[in-house]
Each structure stands twice: as C-alpha cells, then as structure tokens.
Structure 1
Amino acid sequence: MDQIILVCGNWIFEKKRWLFVIDNKRGCRILESNRQTSYDDCIRMVCADFALDNRVCDVVLSNKLSKKLSQQFAGDTPPVFISNSRQLHAFLGQLQKDTVRLCVKVKKKVMVESNRNGNKRPRNDLDGTVSEDEDQGYCIHITGLNRHRVFV
C-alpha cells in the first residue's frame, strides 16, 4: 500500500515556473492506495475525507514532475493532469523511483440549464453567483512503503 497524505493548497505560475502554495489552515488527511485503486475510487476517497459533495464539485488531479524528470525539462513545464485509472497507475508507478506529490483541485460545478428557447446558460452556484474564484485546492502527497519524507 502507498500512503497518501492530503494537503490543502493551489497551483500558481510565478516567475516562469509552477509552484504549489499550501493552505496551512486546512490540515492533512492520510489515505492508502494501491494498483487496484481506480481513478473513481480515488476521487470518492478525496470527496469523503474532505466531506465534499461530488454533485456540487469537480475534482481534478495533477502532479508536478518528479525531481529526476524536472531536471530534463524547462521550469515552466505545467503540472501533469490525471484523468483516468491508467494515468493514476502510471503516477503510482513513479513512486517506486521517486517521491512525488499529487495535487487535487476542487471546484464548484457550474450547472447548465436550458431556457425556454433551448439556449443553454450557466446556473448560479450555491451562493447565487457564477464565480471562478471559489476554487479550493488540495494537495495529495504520496509516499511509497519505505518512503516517509514529506515535501511541502
């Protein structure tokens, strides 16, 4: 089993490189995962541990390149997005070589309603407004069985 430490935060692009800014107020959660864990299972665990309702939020997984790989690429290489089980398992495979953290961005869903004319329009979110600035970010840090270093 791989230990997964959830740490709240958000990606920013600053001075030609990607940085992960941690929200120290949110705290941490610990999950366990293995090669049998599906992408959907991972999303459900994140939602359950942070008490998120997946009917009103979307979860996007991403990670920064490992230290070894980042030496081969430019500093402005964006995070790698994970959107299915195959990509999640490839990410878990990286843990055998290096400690890499996985970040989870949680965004409120913008529902789409059709009006009488059949035109689609965005539905207001929970507080009555459509807003892109209500995002929340979570960082999942995963370590292999013998790895217990936490990079934050």
Structure 2
Amino acid sequence: MADLSIIDAFRESMIGLMKLLNEETAMLKRREFKTLDKLQARKRQLSISFEKHQTEMRSHPEVLEMIPADERTALRELYQRFRCALSDNMLALRSSHDAAERVVSLIMDSVRKQRGITAEEPSFGRPRTGYAAYCPASRAVAAVSKSL
C-alpha cells in the first residue's frame, strides 16, 4: 500500500516546475534569450522529476482516496494552474521560435536578392540548405558535384 508521500512529492515537483516555467515565460517575454541557457538544465531535471512523480501517483491511484476532499480539490486547482503555466510557456516558446524564423527568412531573402536569385524557394522536394540556400541553383549543383 502506498503512502501520502507520493502526493507530496508530486505536488512539490509540480510547484518547482511551474515556478521555472513562469520564470522562463517572463524571460521570453522580456527577450532575455542569453540567460535562458542557464534554465535549461534545471528545467530538464524538474521535468524528469515531475514525470517520475506523476507516473508514481498514477500507479497508486488509491493514495488520492486517502487525502481529504479539500486537499484533493486544492491539488486539482494546483494542477489546473500548472497546465495554464505550461500552456503559456509553450505559447511563449513558439512565439519566440516564430520570430527567430522570420528574422532568418528576412536575412535569407536579402542575401538571395543581393545575389540575384529571383526564384522562390521550391515548396516540394528537399529544401536547399547550407551554401545551396544562398546561391542560384545552377551554382549549387556545380558546387555539390565538385565536392563529390
């Protein structure tokens, strides 16, 4: 039979991860990208811990029956706040990713324009990467053939 320490460990891991997600989201919104690297190792550790404790709790559902109804309600509310923090974090990460992708696309378009590449990037087949993405297709094929 499992004990209530499973619930406490789950709650603590969720709170720790939620705090870090909120911190990361705030940093993304402030565009403090250089300091995000410091959070990644801790985020990974907390995510692993949360997953471990969540799995443990799921394998012992009887512990939920052992806690009083008001604590169960508080745990549900905490989990809802956690899901909101996770959702906000995912949206902030996606927004930052999309913004970075737009900047890269603008740079690539500018380089193509400077080099006289007027054709649009093909929408089928393998995308051109590396040197091939910045030069006309005929030069890219010649460069690749030469390297083989």
Calculate the TM-score normalised by the size of structure 1.
Answer: 0.20
Query: Of Structure 1 and Structure 2, which has the larger fraction of its residues in helix?
Result: 2
Query: Of Structure 1 and Structure 2, which has the larger fraction of its residues in strand?
Result: 1
Calculate the TM-score normalised by the size of structure 2.
Answer: 0.20
